Structure 1
């Protein structure tokens, strides 16, 4: 049993919080989709009671899972499941098609939040139960810290993980490490490992982390190659004004990826300042990439609601850029697309639309820091077949 306050306790606590963060991305989105058609007062009630019920259910399931993992063989099975979950974390999310519409009542919204969380939290429960290592005090502290963090900052965390993909890689490696630890502590093999192969307590977690990253990256590369052959699908009103596949044009096409952040708006200002540099008129394409929702979301939310939500978010993030271009008298075409890998989507869009130049911002770090953190700008630099101008 891990004692409170020891280094092992703090390491396990970090593992619980980390696992909860990387595996709980779409919770806030599900809540928003389930309540978007309700009156404001009912929205607040649905969010409160739906979240309360989902948290209570998740804590109960995790406590049960911790108890079950004390039985022989179940830790070995759980380790295999956790390895699979970790590898899936590194793969591009498949677009949710959407299902039946959510009923327009308070009870229906609460039921949707609860059922969606039940389906989407299975991997979360397994990972946290494994990281807790049978310590209920550790489990409760970890959940008390991580659940409010996920509920109230999940949109920010999603943006952070999209901007810095290395967070996902580290999270997947963490799950692989926990899987290795869980496997060698199963009651079926624990005594034999302790007596004859104690080195496995270090080697198995390290092997689990390396295996997850290697297999996950390999499968992700194959998935990206397949995605490159598919045309990008735009959503909402932006799709109606999107240009056809590229034709010969006398205009200089500039792509401005915008996520609503102050950094991305610096690139918009730079494009306005640079417009007189070109001998031919410029054609500005504003691109916003929306996060692909967890595939299980589609079981509970209608496709039109999913697309409507993504369109609203995209338009909100493009609004300031559009205002600045309008004020400067620069014409543009807005585009909102979905994708799990923003850098790949940006490069793909540039190929499809015959873009001559991509203009985007960085956060002022060195090239080495960008490479280590895996920023979107660095990813576009690796993938784009056209000139990329970075604005600091």
Structure 2
């Protein structure tokens, strides 16, 4: 059985997975449904794997209430490959694409877009070190643009869009790698949603892409087949060998979400978990200071600083000794970060809340 050693996993990604899912995967690892084989050993053309594959897609459709005029693709290469595939497919000649700049990942997406075609900054909060997301009123684009790209949640800076711009006939494309399925979203507002699995959906290795069918029908065809979304759509994401174990785990995590009560309940859980930690920050009289402005705060990634670097080092060291994993802030910004994704238990956030209160009491 899985070790009972107790740690509190606040890693930013790859991140916590539901224990129930890990234990089921452990039981089925060497003999999947009395097949005599692991799911990792099966042909991806077999009936047994096909059932797993299709169930993952159907669970995603159901949980996220994905309309019928959208394709659901299970891809490889992470969100970083999507930074290139999106402009390759949708940034056609004579068009521009706007990128809403809210952190390091939107910056990487913009830079990759520049290698493909004509892209521009539709809005940015870089001048304030990305401590908030751009206001919707500040977003500039033209109704003839190919698309507008947005990063819904920013892991490094701890900010999250609470609402999304209405881009009209211009497709809104969202990188939701770090908050997908953390709350209900109206998928029909987007031309495309994509996400690496390793934060809220499962282990690394699978990338989900949800794409409106009319975009696929009008996409660029003068690119290699493996980089065309239509290739993967036509082949039910089985054009080449898929990451079968990762897709199996994706399906199991989605099943766990269903058992939790769906996205409405998961959103309530995430709100409650984040509130525990934000309350400590807000009531600490400056002992802890949050990086993000309150109206832009992320429920997934809670970023904060202490009074000085030496005190931060002491905090992180004592937290490590107490069984907390992954609380170091990203190397580009420093400080501390608690990533409270869907599978992080409420009890872990309670434990962190108490640790922060105790540390403050000892060091004021």
TM-score with structure 1 length normalisation? Answer: 0.22
Higher-strand-fraction structure: 2
